[in-house]
Amino acid sequence: MNVGLIIGGGKGERTGIKVPKQFYTIFDKPVIVYTLEAFQKHPDIDAIAVVCLEGWSQILDSYAKQYRINKLQWTFIGGETGQASIRNGVYGLKGDLSPEDIIIVHDAVRPLVTHDIISECIVTCKKYGSAVSSIRCTEAILKSDNGIISDESIPREFLYRTQTPQAFPLSLLLWAHEQAEKRGIVNSVASCTLMAELGQPIYLCNGSEKNIKITTIEDIEIVKALIKIENER
């Protein structure tokens, strides 16, 4: 079974908008609905779970009915951090799924994820035991301790920018979050970084420059432009 675990538990304060960014409307459709539709339409996704910001679950349910997201089977409440939100989803699923089921963790605020990205993530995970969508770093990278001055560059040929989706068997995610609690790891920024901190190998698969995570108001403008181009096609 392949389950999309959509992480939408954040408040999104860096955008400066009044509503959480996952519920911000672009062309009369909430951001999270674009994301849910990508997983709803994918034939290899059997079910969807959402980790939702507290107080927004009823709104999410209304959108699911309005946009016919009938694969949505579970809703869990988000945590104080991204790691806590993912943990809430993983722990919430363990009673209903088998250890070998594949969990495809994805940010609710990456609404432009494509069929091909989801497909490759699933295939890579089934082949190697994990999958992290990523793209090669093309910029020159400087390291700075204070954000003012740098005297060290990092070779970009060794660097990859990670995205979501990221896929793992449920058993591995459960183990990782149990280990994190034991070791006092409380704010790893993504599933892949948590796996790295625990010494687990991470297999890369193709992401996309268009698979943007909405963090700032500028990101919203870029997503609007990309959706407009796609609609005009």
Average pLDDT, the chain: 95
Q: What is the DSSP string of 112-164?
A: T--HHHHHHHHHHHHHHS-EEEEEE--S-EEE-SSSS---EEE-GGG-EEEEE
pTM over 0.85: yes
Looking at residue 161, its amino acid is: R
Please state, in angstroms and rounded to a whole number, the distance separating the CA atoms of residues 106 and 167.
9
Name the CATH architecture for the domain at 2-232: Alpha-Beta Complex (3.90)
Sign of CA dihedral 88, 84, 190, 181: negative
CA-angle at 113, arms to 215 and 188, nearest 5°? 50
Please state, in angstroms and rounded to a whole number, the distance separating the CA atoms of residues 165 and 167.
6
Q: Is 11's pLDDT higher than 80?
A: no
What DSSP state is assigned to residue 106?
Answer: E
Token code pair at residue 124? 């890579």
- In this structure, the dihedral spanned by the alpha carbons of residues 119, 123, 125 and 129, taken in order and rounded to 10 degrees, is 180
Share of the chain above pLDDT 90, in %: 91
pLDDT at 231: 86
Lowest mean pLDDT among 5-14, 39-48, 74-83, 160-169: 5-14
Confidence of residue 97 (pLDDT cuts 50, 70, 90): very high
Contact status, residue 13 vs residue 206, Cβ threshold 8 Å: no
Q: Is 78's pLDDT higher than 70?
A: yes
pLDDT at 12: 66
pLDDT at 15: 65
Beta carbons within 10 angstroms of residue 109's beta carbon: 28
Confidence of residue 93 (pLDDT cuts 50, 70, 90): very high
Confidence of residue 14 (pLDDT cuts 50, 70, 90): low
Please state, in angstroms and rounded to a whole number, the distance separating the CA atoms of residues 6 and 212.
15
Q: Is 131's pLDDT higher than 90?
A: yes
Q: Is 13's pLDDT higher than 70?
A: no
